[in-house]
Structure 1
């Protein structure tokens, strides 16, 4: 485990890291199946399958935390000598049986009347209504299309924003994806903020106008609409992470979409093979319909043998991090990722983090993850792909459910980073001065 910035990483990033008292790892949590992990049965109670957060004490080193993750825990936060994990009660008991000290944490949502409520966030139907309104108000700038269906048959929508939206122009394309993990509702608000900012400022803001005149932007507001709806439909949050696809031979439901991508899937202890795990990778790569829909959409942007999408951010919560590939290996370079590639990833990641105050680092500086969207987009499609872990930094500030009062502040906080990614989409290598080598006509 290496949490210290390496290579040419800016010293500001290292300073920021030392100031963080608790590094929340959010959706980067990983697990690998424990040899003795019991299979979920039909007799499992609903309570046992309800994810909760637990504090695990007595862990002070990266190696100890990695072993906990390998035992099947989804790590949300890291402190000096403890971590916070998400697990259902049966998983928690299994971890206790392995010798870990777990204490269930009270949920602020149960007690605090100022805490977040589902009504603070757009439902999926409201999200689609906002998209439709943008299309109606800006028909020359915005279009939308259903690119496929979720497991439960819900349409997954992609939104296009460009100056000549009805024409597939030969311009760099930028993709923003959101809400792979159901409970991360702030990311959907991020999509709606980006849509509103780009459309409302086109023609008046010179930077946005120039970018939309020379780029094509794609937004997928929710990659996991079934999970998003399930997490909120009861009127209170369910702390649900995965999709809603049943798992054959188990009463456990759901696949972790961000462990289901078809690159180094299940290769390296960076996901779980147990259906009850929060990081269950599915029975095979792209076994989740939602993963297939987005992967097929990306593959469909190859025109005349060239991938049109050049840059991407996958928005998650929480942690306040900017992450880049690879996640499956601790090495900075690996097959398909040269030193120049790594330098370009790092330079742009650090520059974007300078605009929003997040901590920038290679994904595996946290610990190993496999089957992730970032690794697949880069290794399979050659797209510079980042993960942004949004606000907050810990469960004490709301965790996966910050109050609605922070939505405007925390989405607009990423404005400059979004515009920077769009700016460099023509040639990310330009940020390291290597455009002549990689991007000449």
Structure 2
């Protein structure tokens, strides 16, 4: 039932409050003093009977009177045959009463917590500008414990009029809790992830939008702007990364996209920022993936929003490919259109750009129902669509959580980038800094192993690649290109490089992953080799070898993996060798992203 919009009138000497947009509601018992609506007040006698009950009449419109009454007064009116209903403040129009206002949302969350106390917890990230609570939901199998698991963040309602996003957050809360122990897929995610949900980041704006019982089309928060009569900051333009940089927000306080006087000037954004930063444990951000729900247009968007370039500083080709591949997969499940955020329009100071650029979180914006050309105002879809349009995002939301262990898995490059998840990283090196490898010249006369930024060479195709798998550096034989392809290749024998000592855990399955290439000219032979060995207790055991052949082989990054479980509980070193067995053959090799994981 919506709150009544009212204007004062005087009729026959009686002060009346004429109520516009009156909405029906079901009768409910009077439990305390408060505001009520009385139906059936059509004559002067009806009005007098209401007045004699002792209730204060606040206004009458079309046979319905608003009153302030004690419980005994409500009972008297009901005994006289009147239908008396409790009036709710700050609520949706009657046709959309299935939407949850702020108080109803919190009550709904508390019901879920009471029903599933072992896997869900409600806390808070703080207060809004007007002092409303900003709830924080955690869902996990050991909800009271901060476990070493990939974390997922779902956020909603940065923009006040986008009420469907709150329903989306409530849907996810119920999906993960009601499905636990019943649905194997959901149970696995709750057991293996820490799921965070911020269901309402803008309760002030949301309540203001529906306070009259009619929609106000309000977007911003309700924070006053100093020196201006205008109120509110666009929360999704108030994040610090590329704040107000690129024409993707407004510096006019009256604009819907006003970015605020400075980054993080909105208290709601400060609170969410502080929570995200609190999830950095040991300097590593534990939140790996995120969806921020918005409306409308049925889109899945990824960074960057501030530039139309597909790749930019802080977003390389692999990262862009991972964003696009996961975005496209999720879109295939819900029928949305996947695209870079700036393909919709330029935005600066947005949450997904900040989450990615400063925290490395694969962050998406979901623009929910309806599509681009709705009938009526697309920000206010009828309550009748809530179930269908929230359920529509079930599969995409689960996919986001499933890929939180390593989003690069979707482009087949988990061996290079895998940092945390269902397995633990025991040791890794991406060669962006020196970690204690030792080069042994051996019998080689040139092309010794070195860490650095490689230069490309070609001879009937690429022989040394000019780019690493990730970052700038790799481990490569003869980093410089020289005057010809054979200037700094491996010559005259074997060059080796040895890792520092690596202590392996005693329990768990251990896996060694790395990226590599081994290139040679057509005059190579089986004596030319690339080899990886394990050193332990004075013994050298080859775990991988690639021999040359009398044929041209171009350089191309490839992933390799071997089982090291037999070395559990021991200290080992890795030895990588490249051999030129012939006096005139062209031999090049490189390694990147070496990693040992335990599962």
Q: Same fold (TM over 0.5)?
A: yes
What is the CA–CA distance in structure 2 between the aligned matches of 1:385 and 1:116, rounded to whole Å? 35
Query: Is residue 261 of structure 2 the alignment partner of residue 283 of structure 1?
Result: yes
Of 416, 422, 425, the match for 2:395: 416
Q: For 1:26-56, what per-residue CA distance to the aligned partner results, in whole angstroms no more than 9, with x for missing partners?
A: xxxxxxxxxxxxxxxxxxxxxxxxxxxxxxx
What is the CA–CA distance in structure 2 between the aligned matches of 1:290 and 1:196, rounded to whole Å? 25
Q: For 1:377-421, what per-residue CA distance to the aligned partner results, in whole angstroms no more than 9, with x for missing partners?
A: 000111000000000013316500011110000000000000000
What is the CA–CA distance in structure 1 between the aligned matches of 2:336 and 2:407, rounded to whole Å? 20
- Which residue in 1 is equivalent to 2:413? 434
Query: Is residue 355 of structure 2 the alignment partner of residue 377 of structure 1?
Result: yes
What is the CA–CA distance in structure 2 between the aligned matches of 1:166 and 1:117, rounded to whole Å? 40
Q: For 1:151-183, what per-residue CA distance to the aligned partner results, in whole angstroms no more than 9, with x for missing partners?
A: 101111110001111111000000000000000
Larger relative contact order, structure 1 or 2 (CA cutoff 8 Å, min sep 6): 1
Query: Is residue 192 of structure 2 the alignment partner of residue 208 of structure 1?
Result: no
Alpha-carbon contact 1:118-1:237 (below 8 Å) kept: no
Query: Is residue 128 of structure 2 the alignment partner of residue 173 of structure 1?
Result: no
Query: Is residue 199 of structure 2 the alignment partner of residue 199 of structure 1?
Result: no
Bigger fraction of residues in helix: 1
Query: Is residue 338 of structure 2 the alignment partner of residue 331 of structure 1?
Result: no
- Which residue in 2 is equivalent to 1:404? 383
User: What is the Cα deviation at residue 367 of structure 1?
Assistant: 2.1
Bigger fraction of residues in strand: 2
3-state DSSP class of the match of 2:97? helix
- Which residue in 1 is equivalent to 2:139? 161
Alpha-carbon contact 2:113-2:121 (below 8 Å) kept: yes
What is the CA–CA distance in structure 2 between the aligned matches of 1:374 and 1:206, rounded to whole Å? 30
Structure 1 stretches lacking a partner, 5+ long: 1-114
Moved over 4 A (4+): 115-118
User: What is the Cα deviation at residue 117 of structure 1?
Assistant: 4.4
Q: TM-score, normalised by structure 1?
A: 0.73
Of 235, 244, 249, the match for 1:257: 235
Let me know the Cα RMSD of the aligned residues.
Answer: 1.1
3-state DSSP class of the match of 1:410? helix
1:27-46 equivalences in 2 (<5 Å): none
Q: For 1:332-363, what per-residue CA distance to the aligned partner results, in whole angstroms no more than 9, with x for missing partners?
A: 11111111000000000000000000000000
1:86-105 equivalences in 2 (<5 Å): none
Structure 2 stretches lacking a partner, 5+ long: 1-92, 420-424, 426-599
Q: TM-score, normalised by structure 2?
A: 0.54
- Which residue in 1 is equivalent to 2:294? 316
3-state DSSP class of the match of 1:323? strand
What is the CA–CA distance in structure 2 between the aligned matches of 1:321 and 1:288, rounded to whole Å? 26
What is the CA–CA distance in structure 2 between the aligned matches of 1:197 and 1:270, rounded to whole Å? 35
Alpha-carbon contact 1:117-1:237 (below 8 Å) kept: no
